[in-house]
Amino acid sequence: MNHNDIVQKLWNLCDVLRDDGINYSDYVTELVLLLFLKMEYEQVQNNEAFEHKLPAGCRWPDLTALSGTKLLTGYKRMLLDLSQSDDLMIAAIYADAQTSLKEPRHLETLIKALNGLDWFSAREDGLGDLYEGLLQKNANETKSGAGQYFTPRALIDSIIRCLRPQPGETIQDPAAGTAGFLIAADGYIKSQTDDLYTLTDKERRFQRRKAFVGMELVPGTRRLALMNCLLHGMDGEGEGVVQLGNSLGNAGAGLAKADVILSNPPFGTAKGGGGPTRDDLTYRTSNKQLAFLQHIYRGLKPGGRAAVVLPDNVLFESGVGTEIRRDLMEKCNLHTLLRLPTGIFYAQGVKTNVLFFQKGTAENPRQETGCTTATWVYDLRSNMPSFGKRTPFGPVHLKPFEEAYGVDANGRSPRVDEGEEGRFRCFTRDQIKERGDSLDITWLKDADSVDAGNLPAPEVLAAEAMAELSEALRELDALMQALGAGDEALEQKRLLADVMGMQISGNGVDCE
């Protein structure tokens, strides 16, 4: 039984949960609360290097010794005990954890199914990677809505190979999700150090406890991240690698500066308690990606490097967007921009990019003006397939970019401008200024753009149009607010709500 077979069997257990009235959004959370008990047990049984993280009385054999109503009652008690554990990390993982299972027979079915899996094969592949596979499976199920915090693994690995994180560096993700970037960075470092064997004891302790830090706003997602890290041998300190908090609030302001920052901030406009509230960000904006971008380039140590996934609107948004891009290019060397294909994220209409930059310059890491002299743009979007379940996006599509990027983590490898017919081109800072400091740079004509037979699926086109329309409406609303026409803007939103069958909330227009 291979890795994918085991992941599919785990996912099929969700049918049991559905029979007990548990919906898509709670599938994985419910399953992993139980699965983590089993994985922790398997990890300890078959590797002398691992010690039990779970306290006596709250381990897998303690659960399997029960049956009937005692089983369900014992499981609920176990979750409560774990949430009150003296181990801060375990208490954080199981904070507010509750099972929605109502039938003891369904819990028994899940336990028997987990016991019946080929755990020898699972251990060969790595329990952490198996868990990661389950999260990816959940993200691919659009009904679950989980894709909002899952970045394609092929893209993560490609970014890691470009930035080349090293032992001893502090690595941060301020929008950690399920910790995919941090775990991939840890895996890369382990692959370069014989699973940390070539490091000293002090260096190994640093890697396991202090090298990685993430922050996640959503408690349920943070729970998945902590489990994910623990199964990959990343302990962290206190409550674990991933902290619970808002990186655009006071918690984010308290994060220490990092050598490397890797992130895919959530898309959309800030609403409710998730918006920017920090006083230390120079440019005030309700655009979460622009706020995260400020946090990232401000949060780098001198000479530190970053890669951040951002939607197209960050590249061209006027007003404060232009000011933030200018500030970024003043304080950092924005050496590379990768235009990603459409269809690789859960929201197919969202067009995304990866910005690679270094704080300061190679010659002077503390330089704070004129750091960007040229930016190389790689167009991986034009004349590319429409990616989705039928045409998956994978490492083969990113390999040409990695070869063009070069072996230097800060983009200093020799590069070749491929001209107007190629995908990789260099644009000087003066050329970018001539464009009004817009980074929305294109030159390739899409060969399929006028061929109706090769157009993306109608729902993809509709999603792209809706995404662009929503962004345009948001910018118009911000402009009217700035011009003091807030009442008129609200009236226009009411008219729009009437037409589209929506209702107005304090934060805008909501679906009924």
Most confidently modeled of 280-289, 326-335, 482-491?
Answer: 326-335
| Half-sphere exposure (Cβ direction) of 336: Cα atoms closer than 13 Å | 30
Q: Name the token pair of 177.
A: 């999700």
Q: Is the pLDDT of residue 291 over 80?
A: yes
At 3 the pLDDT is 64
Span 180-207, pLDDT tens digits: 999 999 999 999 999 999 999 999 999 9
Q: Average pLDDT of the chain?
A: 84
Query: What's the rounded Cα separation, in Å, for the pair 94 and 223?
Result: 7
| CB-CB neighbours of 125 under 10 Å | 16
The structure tokens listed for 477 are 């609303």
Helices 27-45 + 68-83 axis angle, to 10: 80
Which residue is it, tokens 């489990």? 227
Q: Could you identify the residue written with the tokens 């010659």?
A: 363
Q: How many CB atoms lie within 10 A of CB 170?
A: 18
User: Domain ranges in the chain?
Assistant: 3-136, 458-511
SS3 319: coil
Residue 51: the pLDDT is 78
Per-residue pLDDT, 101: 86
What secondary structure does DSSP assign to 83-97, as a single string?
A: HT-SSHHHHHHTTT-
Q: What is the pLDDT of residue 91?
A: 92
Q: Which long-range contacts (CB under 8 A, 24 or more apart) does 266-270 make?
A: 266/148, 266/149, 266/175, 267/148, 267/311, 267/347, 267/350, 269/474, 269/508
- Does the pLDDT value for residue 334 go beyond 60? yes
* pTM, entire model: 0.82
Contact (CB, 8 A) for 167 and 198: no
Band (pLDDT 50/70/90 cuts) for residue 351 is confident
- pLDDT tier for residue 53 given thresholds of 50, 70 and 90: confident
Poorest-pLDDT segment among 225-229, 283-287, 441-445, 482-486: 482-486
> CATH class for domain 3-136?
mainly alpha
The per-residue b/e assignment along 64-80, b for 16 or more CB within 10 angstroms, e otherwise, is: bebeeeebbebbeebbe
Rounded distance between C-alpha atoms, residue 173 and residue 258, angstroms: 10
Pairwise CA distance, residues 311 & 352, whole Å: 4
User: Residue 306's pLDDT is what?
Assistant: 98
pLDDT attached to residue 174: 97
Instruction: Check if the beta carbon of residue 85 is closer than 8 Å to that of residue 59.
Output: no
Go through 391-420 and write b for each residue having 16 or more CB atoms within 10 A of its CB, e for each that does not.
eebeeebbeebbebbbeebbbeeebeeeee
Tell me, what's the pLDDT at 124?
57
Question: With bands split at pLDDT 50, 70 and 90, how would you rate the model's confidence at 512?
Answer: very low
**How many other CB atoms are there within 10 angstroms of residue 158's CB atom?**
22
- In this prediction, residue 121 carries a pLDDT of 66
- Beta strands in 225-299, from DSSP E residues, in sequence order: 242-244, 258-263
pLDDT of residue 397: 95
pLDDT level of residue 144 (50, 70, 90 thresholds): very low
**Residues 309, 264: Cα–Cα separation, whole Å:** 5
| Helices within 346-457 (DSSP H only) | 395-405, 429-434
102 in Cβ contact with 110 (< 8 Å)? no
User: Residue 113, SS3?
Assistant: helix
> Quick one: which of 437, 207, 422, 165 has its CA closest to 322?
437
Strand pairing partners for 510? 503
Of 275, 219, 285, nearest to 248 (Cα)? 275
User: How would residue 9 be classed by pLDDT, with cut points 50, 70 and 90?
Assistant: confident
